[in-house]
Amino acid sequence: MFDTVEDLETYCRSRSDEEISDGYPAAAEYTGPGPHPTVVFRRLPTTDAHVTGYRMADHSPYEEWLPESPEQAVLLVCVNGTSPSPENVDTCEYEPSSVTGVTVGEAFELPLRERTYKFTVYALRTGEEVAAGEIPSADLSCPASVFSDSMVREAGEVYTTIDYGAMLREVEEAVTADAP
């Protein structure tokens, strides 16, 4: 059904043709001691104009848990931002960008809104939720740069970034735990 582990990303999307609750019967069984082969997908937008989907975490230490095929995967982790806080926590100032030495645009300001992040760990074969929780923002500082991948709208606000250390601890705890 899936050719690569990257294809499992469809289970993290809320409006997907594939529902994680149905599980992926061809996946490996969640049993025995950890660490378990795991695929981690993150969607961590830093602006309200960032529309890119989930991206697979394939760098260290996540690569240590990454299976070679969807059928070898035991756990699936989806990490996504929650709704931003209703109030602004700061104002972020950004300078014009410089691409190949040519300055483009003008300086601008954007409101900073705090965002927490949620994670859910699934036993891929059954779709059963194994762990879930929230991950805080790293701090209330402005993102270093503003990125918009939308061709339709410009960024109107920026969000606090995830605490990557906390995310790693949460994921690692689930991956290394013994199956029930």
How many angstroms from the chain centroid is the CA of residue 69?
A: 20
pLDDT top residue among 105 and 41: 41
| pLDDT for res 101 | 53
Do 81 and 50 form a contact (C-beta atoms < 8 A)?
A: no
Per-residue model confidence as pLDDT tens digits over 99-158? 555 556 778 889 999 999 999 999 999 999 999 999 999 989 998 887 655 556 678 899
Do 110 and 91 form a contact (C-beta atoms < 8 A)?
A: yes
pTM score of the predicted model: 0.87
Beta strands in the chain (DSSP E): 38-43, 55-56, 75-81, 88-94, 97-99, 102-104, 108-113, 117-123, 128-135, 158-159
DSSP calls for 124-162: TTTTEEEEEEEE-BS-SPPPSS-----SS-----EEPPB
Per-residue model confidence as pLDDT tens digits over 52-111? 788 889 888 899 999 999 999 999 999 999 999 999 999 998 887 755 555 567 788 899
Residues in the chain, overall count: 180
| pLDDT for res 100 | 52
